[in-house]
Structures are given as structure tokens and as C-alpha cells.
Structure 1
Amino acid sequence: MPETRGHRGGRTVKLTVAIVPAASSRPAQDPVVFMEGGPGGEAISAIPFLVASGVNRDRDLIVMTQRGALHSQPNLACPEIDRFNAAAVGLPYDAPSTGRGLVRAAKQCRDRLTAEGIRLSSYNTTENAADFADLRRALGIKRWNVYGYSYGTDLALTYLRLHPQGIRSVAIDSVVPPQIVSLPWAWDSAQEGINTIFAACEAQPACKSRYPNLSRTLTEQVRRLEANPLRLTVQPPGGGSPVKVVLDGGTLVNLLVADGGGMPAVDVPAALDELAHGNPERFAQAQAAGATPAIGEFAHGLTHSVACSEWAPGYSKADVLAAGRRAFPGFPDTVLAHAPQLPFEHDLCRAWDVPDRTAIQRVATYSNVPTLIVSGTFDAKTGASWGPYTGRTLPRSTAVRIPGIGHFVVPQSPCAQRVLASFLTRPTAPDTGCVAGLAPEPFTITPELETR
């Protein structure tokens, strides 16, 4: 593909494409193309989850590495940021010195990539969508179905808006609406996902009795840890040498937003109760898991090229803080000043230095193409209410919310898998009957603890 369309004589990029044959002996002629999340995630590594979810049951599955991601050339990996993140498990989450370290690592990556001649401004959702349009033509496919999750839904909706030709149906899982995604938006999603977990506990008598007032408990613990961070040495959950971690208020919030940092949502009330009684082990282990990242596998260069041109512009640091205060009015401002999952992003974006693209990207998609919108009620990254919101401009859409599931719903939910299969068979009349009988799993109930 051209790195920059419309730029004569520019360099090209190479993208890996994998085609997974349909499991059926008589597959349908319209395949499914998958769009990975992130931005910066590696699509090829998602194939086992997609196959286990039956996405290729009746159709070939096409998976393409997005520009800049692992298995593309060039690869916008930032080992500098990976190494910083590994060290950051032992640093205060929102300390100015931590931010300076992150920005320094990002600038080192940016300087290296641009010295290699990479045009970072070309690693954006518009070019990304055009790559998929070109792929369909290159493979000679008349019609296909699109399935994207997380950032892949932002990409899928952009693709549907700009390149509607040849799209039979679109399925979006854990929705990032391009017209609304921003740094303040992340606080709205965090509030919705976390509060829904707490409400689900409230709805289960055993959980309600054992863990009352979870919202108050969380606020108390965020304030306590922000004022007096815990410094611990713990064994990472995957084994290996013990690592030093810091648990402060910002760390706690971001572990919850990041699907509990790998902790099942059913364990969150118990983990918060343990923390309140002087046992931080679950959260400390979740934090320690970040000490051993896969260096060079995640394309942070793609993340920040998209975030700094499409998500951050138009909103100030004050806007992020205001959104945080609305979402969690009891949290300290030092925590609320940073968008969940993207701390110090305004500072980083000044160093990353890509142009503002919001005028052409922050646009709603209006389409009559049949669309399935799947959300998990426990998703604190992309709140479930954004699914129906996105469906307002998609009149032939079906929106479903899967109770008790977090981010990337289909691989976690047999019901969602059945709904997706039904949708691919009949995009205008999917069978969503299994959703009505669903409820979150019972939460973990532990013996009452004495405060240490």
C-alpha cells in the first residue's frame, strides 16, 4: 500500500494478510474481514480467539495487520515505551516525574521512527480504512462482512462511511464511536463500566450483604492510596522474580478500567474489600503483571499517531479534569487529571507532533448497511451505552448488551457468539433470543476480614 495516498513518489508499506478457511465444507461466498483494536494491537494474534468463537464457522476469515502494527513493514513498535512501562509499575502513576519519563520514551521512539523516513501523520484511521478497501479489491471479493472490536469499531465505522462498496454487513464489538471518542470520553466509559459492576453486586443478595457501599469503598481507597501510596514487592502472576510495585489512587483506577488488570470482574468486590482491610495482594499482583511486557509487540507508534491526531485535539487538560470530576466527584484531582489508559497524553502529543485530523475523522457514520452492535455491560474502556448511541445513525442496526462481560465481548460470551453467527446468516433479522436470559455470574464471596 502507499504510505500516503495522493502523495506521488512516496514510500509503500507492507501488510500481512492471513486467510483462515471456513470450517464448513460448503462455506458462504462472502467472507468476514476482522479489524483489530488498539490502535496498535496485532491482528494475527487474535486468530485463535476468533476461530474459537466460531467466526469462521460458515465463512472464510480474513485478518490483516494494520499499517504500523507487528508483521507490517514498517513496524511502529516503541521498545522505548515498553521498557518505560515495565519500570513504571514501580512508579507513582500520576507523578509529574512519571509523565516526564513517559514523554521522554515517546520522543525517543518518535525521533527514531522519523529518522527512518516514516511519515507518522500517515498512520491514521483514514489511510487504515483505505487499506481494507484496497484489500477487498486485491482479493477480488465482491462482498464481505466486517467485524471489528474496540478501536477496530472506530475503524470499521470509518471504513463503512468512506468505502461502503462491497460491504454486506458490519459487526462492531465494544464500540468506539468516531464522532465522540476523545480523552474526556474515557472517563464516561470508566464510570459506566465500574458502576455497572457495583450495581450487579448490589443486585445479588450475598454480594450486597458482604460488600455494601462499594462506590464509597472505592472512593475511600483511591483517596487513601493517592495520599499514601503502597510500595510493595510481589511475585508476578506469571511467575519470575519478585518486582517492586507502587499502588496509588491512579493505579487502582486504571487497573479497574483495564478489565481489573486481568482480574475477573467477579473478583473486584472481594479485591476492594481486601484492600480496605489491609490486604492489597490482588491489585498488587495485577500491577506486577505489567513488569514483563512483550517488548516490541504492541505498536505504540500507531496508538499515538491516531490518538494525538484524532482523539486528543479540541479538548484541553481542563476538559479531561472536568469530565473526571463529573464521573467520580470524590476522587482526587491528581487522579482525575489523566484520561484512563492514556495518562499524560497531552504532553506526549506535543512531543509526537502529528496534525489535527478531527475535522475529517470525528464524524458520525450514517448507513443502511445491516449492523450488529455488541457491548459488554462491565466494559469500563468502551461503556455499553455507546452501542445504542452509535446505532442512532444506523437505521438497520441491532444493538445487544451482554450482562457481566467486559471488553471484547464475542470471545467471552457463547451467547454473543450465537448472535454473531445468526447475524452473519441473516443480517437484517439476527436471533438475539439468548440475551434475555443472561445475568452476570455470582461474585466471589470471601470470609470477612479484620483490618490489619
Structure 2
Amino acid sequence: MNVTDHRFTVPLDHSVSDGETITVFAREYSDAGQRPAMVQELPWLLYLQGGPGGKGNRLLQFGGWTKAASKHFRILMLDQRGTGLSTPADRQTLALRGDAAARAAYLTHFRADSIVADAELIRQALGSGPWTTYGQSYGGFCTLTYLSFAPEGLRESLITGGLAPLSGPADRVYDATFRRVAARNAEYFARYPEDRELTTRIARHLDAVPEFLPSGERLSVQRFQMAGSYLGGNTRVDGLHHLLEEAFVPAPGGERLSDTFLETVHGLVSRASNPLYAVMHESIYGQGSATDWAAWRVLKSFPEFEPTAEAPLFTGEMVYPWYFDEDPALVPLKQTAELLARKADWGPLYDTGRLARNTVPVAAAVYTDDIYVDRDISLETAAAVQGLKVWESADYHHDGIADDGEAIFDRLLGMVRGGK
């Protein structure tokens, strides 16, 4: 691969061009097997990754969807503002902003509308005409914002597992996704019936015996339930079984959770590497009203997910206020997160009128059993975007591009270029 780093200076607030600036980093990848002159002639593809709070992929070689894309494009991996090598936003750097109110005000500029405005400045700085975007998960949400406010910058857009609701409260999202996560739990325990008793045994052990993660804090049942992140994948789901089967080891005084188990769980539940995922998560649904910890409120209607349930289920990608009590990387950001949860004057993320008149070719993969982005809401959104072509598949879960990225990318690219 040819690898080139880019750094761009952009306004913190795009409505104040002469105000504070931040840095946004992006890394360019192209096929080293092509002649340099040919590489320079290749069009750009901007990858909008999942999140919020996720940095651009760090490639060691082309594979999966990047292998397919590198045949047609120069790939630009963007560290969305606040992540990776862009000006960071975490417990350490946000401490420089002042009190919780100042930090919350700063973070209001870290949503999809600002990410899209950054992308447009970057496109122009690179001298690119309208470019192709590929949005996975939250990257699809950003794509809908791009189509709403800067469609002139887009040649075509591909989306996988990322068609956001265009309106309505966040509660609706979580009511749908809790149901899908419950169904996925049932599917998992039918596949590994021995893990039903084992999961409950681990939960009750955590109630009775203090077990500590490598970062020093006690592991709670509700945090253990976050291992349900495995359920969002095809082959990744088997990783949950591999985790559970190594849970217990004999020790003086009785069995304890193994260091292997605790280390793996720590990697699943810590937000040290992507704190904005937790801090900004529900704000991605905020338009004109407060989200007010929607997932936490909706959870009360699904008692099977309560840590005190007789046989508690694994949870999904939801974020709860207690994260900011239990995760050392998030504790200093608790007041900031509370203010963002109560913020009622979020601006719009989508222009439904413009989407209804869309002329940019768009193709989206919708996964029937996606536990993170609900299928029914996705299809409702697809119907509201003129010309958007949908490929629905029950063969993949949310991270389908990790399992068959090359085929998925090629199919979507063919769809926006005239195929079915």
C-alpha cells in the first residue's frame, strides 16, 4: 500500500469561521501496485466508520472491503473530530475546557453535522470533485446528514447497517433494539444451551464475590452483561461462548473468575479508547428534544435485562448513566454527560425535504436481524430518501463487512452504478 497522512485545520464551530480551530487527521491508502500517475487519477472514497467516537481503521494490508475498494479508489480513512490523531476529546483533554457546562458546550460540535462539514472542507482541500462515501453503522447516519446538507459533495454513497431514524424520540429506537437483542439472546442460548446456566452462575457469583477488572474497579453484573456486544456479529457471536467457557478457575477459598476472563471482559467494557461513544451516543438521535437517557428509561419495560433478573440477558450497544460511575475513563465526564442528556435544543441532523428530492445514487445494505440498527426503522428511512436502493439480507449481522466485506462492497457499488 501507499500510505499518506493528512492533517487539516477546521473550525470548531463551522458557523463561526474566524473562531477556535481544531485539527482533523485522515490517512490515505492506495494500491502500490499501480503506477503513481494512475494512483493520482483515481477518485477518492471517504470511509465513514462506526461510532460515535470511533477513529478511522488502521490498515496493515488490503483485505475485505478495502481490497475491493482499492481497485477503484484512493481510500481516505478519517479520524472523526475528537478521535485518533485528530484533536482528542477525552477525560484528560476535556479537563482543559473548564467546568462540565463548558465541556458540554464544546462537545455539541462533535455530532454528524460537524463531521460532514469537516469532510467537505477536506474534500475541497484535496482538490477532489464530488466523491464516493462508504458509511458503516454510525457512518451511515453521517451519510444521511451529508445527503441532507451537502449533497453537492457526493458522487455516490454506500451504506451498511446504518440507516438512522429521521425523526422521533430515541425511545423508539431502543424499544425496537431491546426486542431484537432479546431475540438474539434466545438464538444464542439455543445454540449454546449450556451457557444459559453458566451466564446466570457468573452473574450470581458477581453479586456475592468481589471480582476486579485489571483497571482496578469491581466488575458488576450490569457491566458483565455488556459482553452482549458479541451478539452483533456473525462469527463474532461464537466469541461469547469462548469467553464464558474460560470464566471460572479453582482458587484458595473457592472458584474465582479467571484472569483470562477478566482481561477479556475489560477490553469489552472499557471506554478508555473511545469515550465519545458513551458521552455522545444518545445525542446521535437528538433533534429538537432531550434524549434524557432514553435506553435507561426504556429498559424498565424489559425486566429480563435487569441485572437482578432470575436469568439476566446480555445487553447490546445501549449506554446507561451508571457507565459514568463504573468506568474510570468516564467517571470525570459524568456531569458533562448528564448535561448532554438533558439538552433539549439539539439542531436538526437531517433535512427530510431534501432527502425526499435526493439525486445522489445511494445503496444500502439492511440486515434483517441487526440488533444495533433496527430493520423496520431502516426500511422506513430508506423509503424517505428518493432513489435509495436497498439490499436486505438475513445472511449478515451488524458487522457483516467484517465477514464478507469484499462481496458486500462490490454489490453496493454495482447497485449505485446501475445494477440491482
After TM superposition, the structure 1 = structure 2 runs for residues 270-419 of structure 1, keeping only pairs within 5 Å, are 284=262, 286-290=264-268, 297-298=273-274, 300-301=275-276, 304=279, 307-308=282-283, 310-311=285-286, 313-316=289-292, 320-321=295-296, 323-326=298-301, 328-332=302-306, 340-344=317-321, 348-351=336-339, 356-361=344-349, 364=352, 365-366=355-356, 367-376=358-367, 379-403=370-394, 405-410=396-401, 412-414=402-404, 416-419=405-408
Cα 1:279/1:262, change in 2 over 3 Å: farther
1:427 is matched with: 416
1:230 and 1:5 map into 2 onto residues whose CA distance is 51
1:76 to 89, 100, 108: 89
2:79 to 65, 87, 110: 65
Is 1:158 the counterpart of 2:151? The answer is: no
Is 1:35 the counterpart of 2:48? The answer is: yes
Q: Report the RMSD for the aligned CA atoms in angstroms.
A: 4.6
**How far off its partner does 1:76 sit?**
1.1
**How far off its partner does 1:157 sit?**
0.9
Q: Do the aligned partners of 1:36 and 1:42 also contact (CA within 8 Å) in 2?
A: yes
- SS at 1:62 equivalent: strand
1:211 is matched with: 193
Cα 1:200/1:262, change in 2 over 3 Å: closer
- SS at 1:37 equivalent: coil
Cα 1:321/1:176, change in 2 over 3 Å: same
Could you tell me which amino acid in structure 1 is paired with residue 279 of structure 2?
H
Q: Do the aligned partners of 1:245 and 1:287 also contact (CA within 8 Å) in 2?
A: no
Cα 1:18/1:264, change in 2 over 3 Å: closer
Is 1:265 the counterpart of 2:237? The answer is: yes
- SS at 2:161 equivalent: strand
**How far off its partner does 1:287 sit?**
1.7
After TM superposition, the structure 1 = structure 2 runs for residues 90-239 of structure 1, keeping only pairs within 5 Å, are 108=95, 111=98, 119-175=106-162, 177-179=164-166, 182=170, 185-186=173-174, 188-196=176-184, 198-199=186-187, 207=191, 211=193, 217=196, 221=200, 225=204, 228=207, 231-232=210-211
Cα 1:138/1:287, change in 2 over 3 Å: same
Cα 1:36/1:267, change in 2 over 3 Å: closer
- SS at 1:45 equivalent: coil
2:14 is matched with: 5
- SS at 2:50 equivalent: coil
2:374 and 2:205 map into 1 onto residues whose CA distance is 25
Cα 1:219/1:155, change in 2 over 3 Å: farther
More displaced 10-residue stretch of structure 1: 173-182 or 110-119: 110-119
- SS at 2:82 equivalent: coil
1:438 is matched with: none
2:110 and 2:91 map into 1 onto residues whose CA distance is 14
**How far off its partner does 1:409 sit?**
2.3
Could you tell me which amino acid in structure 2 is paired with residue 75 of structure 1?
P
More displaced 10-residue stretch of structure 1: 14-23 or 280-289: 280-289
Could you tell me which amino acid in structure 1 is paired with residue 385 of structure 2?
L
Cα 1:393/1:185, change in 2 over 3 Å: same
Q: Do the aligned partners of 1:211 and 1:273 also contact (CA within 8 Å) in 2?
A: no
2:223 is matched with: 251
Q: Do the aligned partners of 1:192 and 1:380 also contact (CA within 8 Å) in 2?
A: yes
1:192 and 1:359 map into 2 onto residues whose CA distance is 29
1:229 and 1:390 map into 2 onto residues whose CA distance is 46
Q: Do the aligned partners of 1:233 and 1:244 also contact (CA within 8 Å) in 2?
A: yes
Q: Do the aligned partners of 1:33 and 1:146 also contact (CA within 8 Å) in 2?
A: yes
2:161 and 2:305 map into 1 onto residues whose CA distance is 26
Summarize deviations over 1:242-277 as a string: whole Å, max 9, x none: 9775251x224321035479993135468779989x
Could you tell me which amino acid in structure 1 is paired with residue 162 of structure 2?
V
2:104 and 2:305 map into 1 onto residues whose CA distance is 44
2:408 and 2:419 map into 1 onto residues whose CA distance is 6
**How far off its partner does 1:352 sit?**
5.3
- SS at 1:246 equivalent: coil
- SS at 1:54 equivalent: helix
Cα 1:21/1:376, change in 2 over 3 Å: same
The runs of 5 or more residues in structure 2 that have no matched partner are: 1-9, 249-254, 325-333
**How far off its partner does 1:146 sit?**
0.6
Cα 1:194/1:322, change in 2 over 3 Å: same
TM-score normalized by the length of structure 2: 0.70
1:16 is matched with: 25
Q: Do the aligned partners of 1:223 and 1:331 also contact (CA within 8 Å) in 2?
A: no
1:331 and 1:174 map into 2 onto residues whose CA distance is 24
Q: Do the aligned partners of 2:51 and 2:139 also contact (CA within 8 Å) in 1?
A: yes
1:53 and 1:187 map into 2 onto residues whose CA distance is 37
Q: Do the aligned partners of 1:309 and 1:357 also contact (CA within 8 Å) in 2?
A: no
- SS at 1:123 equivalent: coil
2:390 and 2:282 map into 1 onto residues whose CA distance is 26
More displaced 10-residue stretch of structure 1: 55-64 or 21-30: 21-30
2:58 is matched with: 45
**How far off its partner does 1:124 sit?**
2.5
TM-score normalized by the length of structure 1: 0.66
